[in-house]
Amino acid sequence: MSDQTSTGESTDESFVSFGEQGAQLTYGSYLRLPQLLDSQHLESDPPAHDELLFITIHQVYELWFKQLLHEVTAARDAMLAGTSGGRLWWAQHLMARVHVIERVLVQQVDVLETMTPQDFLEFRQRLAPASGFQSVQFRELEFLSGAKDPAYLERFKGITAAEREHLEARLAEPTLWDAFLVALGSVGLPAGTDGEVTASLRTVAHDRDQYAVVWALAEALLQHDELAASWRARHVVMVERMIGAKSGTGGSSGATYLRSRLPVQYYPLLWELRSEL
């Protein structure tokens, strides 16, 4: 036991004092709160009351997108290691976390909908030509999930060199689906063609005792796909409620464009499997 002073404080040199007394990390410095809380700058003049809410919601979305990319990338890499890496359980665990975050993304729309169309119109014109269409992290997540769209790089006119580099990297690297096919192969199931994959999935579905982890991963991917679809559907209804049929601030057709994205499926073979069982 170390020596104690009359005040009860340790004199051991290994003693670490936290917080303000020890000039160590504080809650605010660890989270970079001064920088974070200084990142909401209104464009409206005079300031529109609801613009702060609009900025905050979208910054929170981007933080969640960053976390989702972190988790999905790790889940993909774990599947790419296959059974030899012994990390398929880790991929399943991470995808469960992804699902919880995605449910939060859907629920966040409720907060945005506390803003009325009239309140939004107070500052909407100040946003042009900025648009949610330009969210690079959201596109990265779609690319990584399996919906790669090289044409997006050409449609996004305001893309920076760094953003283009991020997206090109995502286009070149394996997707979650690519990794799942590796996982199938790692347990001895063929996955070279769509027909082989479908046959292998039927085998997995009918022998869940032997292929429990692979079945769980297939269901995790399907859940990810379903939740992404739920977010797109919730988003388009919110946009229609807010601006009707008006065009988007970035020049898109607004709700019409968003509705065109509703049929997107990351893993059509997993959906088709339901008809094969």
CB 236 within 8 A of CB 117: no
CB 122 within 8 A of CB 48: yes
| pLDDT tens, residue by residue, 199-246 | 999 999 999 999 999 999 999 999 999 999 999 999 989 888 887 766
Low-confidence ranges of the chain (pLDDT < 70): 1-23, 129-132, 245-254
Range list of β-strands (E), the chain = none
pTM as predicted: 0.86
The whole-angstrom separation of Cα 91 and Cα 125 is: 43
Q: Indicate the length of the chain as a whole number.
A: 277
User: Domains (ranges, CATH) in the chain?
Assistant: 50-276 (1.20.58.480)
pLDDT computed for residue 1 by the predictor: 47
Query: How many other C-beta atoms lie within 10 A of the C-beta of residue 124?
Result: 18
For 44, 82, 242, 249, the CA distances from 91, given in Å and listed in that order, are 44, 10, 38, 38
